[in-house]
């Protein structure tokens, strides 16, 4: 159906129903909780996922290791299998606000996480990073956390770049169990 307007025919919305647009769709409704969920504020509490995790059972919270001042947790929305976060228990947003004891354990757990990932999945390299502030890319800017992302040759392809889709070949819980088993005593 077209409407005539002057010399040119104009298509209406009825012309498109059922027409293949050439796009494949990967439906991920579970991500809506992240997109529309309450965003953490500068205050600690129920709105902060990193304050909530230590109060959950390890498997439910994706906890890998509990230290004295900091802990290691799986990223709920990983870039790659084994994507870990090192977080202080205390609700602080900036690295410079950590105490000396927290900083020491933060660093120690980062090193242990790298060694554990090497033992569990033999990555070819790592991305380590702290994004401080929303403008720097922090999804949860109110609670400091460091990313440890294992990398393998060829782990990125056109999917994340063109299709904004990441294929993850291992389930979170399977990866968590493997990491817990490999964590140094």
Q: Is 65 one of the annotated active-site residues of the chain?
A: no
Query: According to the model, what pLDDT value does residue 154 have?
Result: 80
Question: What is the CATH classification number for the domain harbouring 97?
Answer: 3.30.428.10
Write out the chain's pLDDT in tens, 185 residues. 444 555 566 766 666 666 666 666 666 666 666 556 555 555 566 689 999 999 999 999 999 999 999 999 999 988 889 999 999 999 999 999 999 999 999 999 999 999 999 999 999 999 999 999 888 888 888 999 999 999 998 887 655 655 667 777 788 888 899 999 999 88
- Report if residue 30 sits inside a domain: no
- Report if residue 6 sits inside a domain: no
Tokens 């460091």 correspond to: 146
Query: According to the model, what pLDDT value does residue 31 have?
Result: 61
Catalytic residue among 91, 143, 145, 147: 145
- Report if residue 176 sits inside a domain: yes
Cβ(94)–Cβ(120) below 8 Å: no
- Report if residue 151 sits inside a domain: yes
- Report if residue 11 sits inside a domain: no
Q: Quote the domain boundaries for residue 113.
A: 47-182
Find the radius of gyration of the CA atoms of the chain.
22
Query: According to the model, what pLDDT value does residue 98 have?
Result: 97
For 97, other C-beta atoms within 10 Å of its C-beta total: 13
- Report if residue 34 sits inside a domain: no
Into how many domains does the chain fold? Answer: 1
Query: According to the model, what pLDDT value does residue 134 have?
Result: 83
Query: According to the model, what pLDDT value does residue 113 have?
Result: 98
> Can you tell me the distance from the alpha carbon of 49 to that of 67, in angstroms, rounded to the nearest whole number?
18
- pTM here? 0.71
Query: According to the model, what pLDDT value does residue 51 have?
Result: 94
- Report if residue 128 sits inside a domain: yes
Query: According to the model, what pLDDT value does residue 93 have?
Result: 93
- Report if residue 13 sits inside a domain: no
């Amino acid at each position: 159906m077209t409407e005539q307007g002057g010399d040119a025919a104009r298509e209406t919305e009825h012309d498109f129903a059922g027409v293949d647009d050439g796009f494949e769709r990967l439906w991920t409704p579970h991500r809506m909780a992240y997109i529309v969920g309450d965003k953490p504020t500068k205050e600690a509490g129920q709105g902060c996922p990193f304050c909530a995790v230590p109060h959950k059972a390890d498997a439910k919270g994706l906890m890998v290791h509990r230290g004295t001042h900091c802990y290691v947790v799986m990223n709920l929305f990983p870039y790659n299998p084994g994507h870990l976060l090192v977080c202080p228990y205390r609700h602080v947003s900036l690295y410079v606000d950590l105490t000396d004891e927290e900083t020491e354990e933060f660093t120690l757990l980062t090193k242990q996480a790298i060694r554990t990932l090497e033992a569990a999945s033999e990555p070819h390299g790592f991305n380590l990073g702290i994004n401080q502030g929303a403008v720097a890319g922090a999804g949860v800017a109110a609670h400091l956390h460091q990313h440890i992302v294992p990398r393998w040759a060829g782990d990125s392809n056109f999917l994340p770049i063109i299709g904004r889709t990441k294929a993850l070949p291992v389930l979170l819980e399977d990866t968590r169990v493997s990491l817990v088993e490999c964590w140094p005593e």
